[in-house]
């Protein structure tokens, strides 16, 4: 899987407003002071990157991506969980399932890298 071309594809869909938002994402966004427009802005930023990729996330039959992006309005980094579905006719659809700030207990470099398990356990309990 070429993640560089995938993040470009996600940016393109977001640029044209072709990304859907789950109810959960809408609720979490409001809790975190993020509008859908702010999330779309983060998805279209050329500096965002795919931090994680799962072929089948939590039993779902579609690939999921965790996009690391910086919000220009509040200067904070976020993980945007977005999944891709393909219709029976072959059309693609991207949907954002949630958005959150990566925990320093589990991630390093503003959320870019998942810490090794031994480091996560040590950090989380102190």
Strand 64-70 relative to strand 49-54, pairing? antiparallel
Mean pLDDT of the chain: 85
Number of C-beta neighbours around residue 77 at 10 A = 18
The answer to whether the beta carbons of residues 105 and 116 sit under 8 Å apart is no
pLDDT tens, residue by residue, 89-124? 888 889 999 999 887 777 777 777 676 777 776 655
pLDDT of residue 86 exceeding 60: yes
Closest alpha carbon to 43 in 74, 85, 2, 6: 6
Specify the pTM. Answer: 0.82
Give the full edge-to-edge strand order of the sheet including 19-21: 19-21, 92-100, 77-86, 64-70, 49-54
Specify the CATH number for 3-124; select among 3.30.2310, 3.30.460, 1.10.3470, 2.30.30.
Answer: 3.30.2310
pLDDT of residue 80 exceeding 70: yes
Q: What's the confidence (pLDDT) of residue 34?
A: 96
Of the listed ranges 40-49, 52-61, 69-78, 84-93, the least confidently predicted one is 52-61
């Amino acid at each position: 899987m070429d993640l560089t071309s995938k993040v470009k594809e996600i940016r393109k869909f977001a640029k044209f407003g072709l990304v859907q938002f789950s109810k959960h994402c809408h609720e979490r966004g409001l809790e975190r002071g993020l509008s859908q427009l702010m999330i779309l802005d983060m998805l279209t930023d050329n500096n965002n990157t795919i931090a994680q990729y799962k072929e089948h996330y939590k039993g779902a039959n579609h690939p999921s991506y965790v996009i690391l992006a910086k919000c220009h309005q509040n200067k904070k980094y976020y993980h945007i969980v977005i999944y891709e579905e393909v219709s029976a006719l072959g059309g693609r659809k991207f949907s954002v399932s949630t958005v959150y700030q990566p925990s320093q207990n589990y991630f390093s470099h503003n959320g870019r890298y998942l810490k090794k398990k031994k480091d996560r356990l040590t950090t989380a309990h102190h």
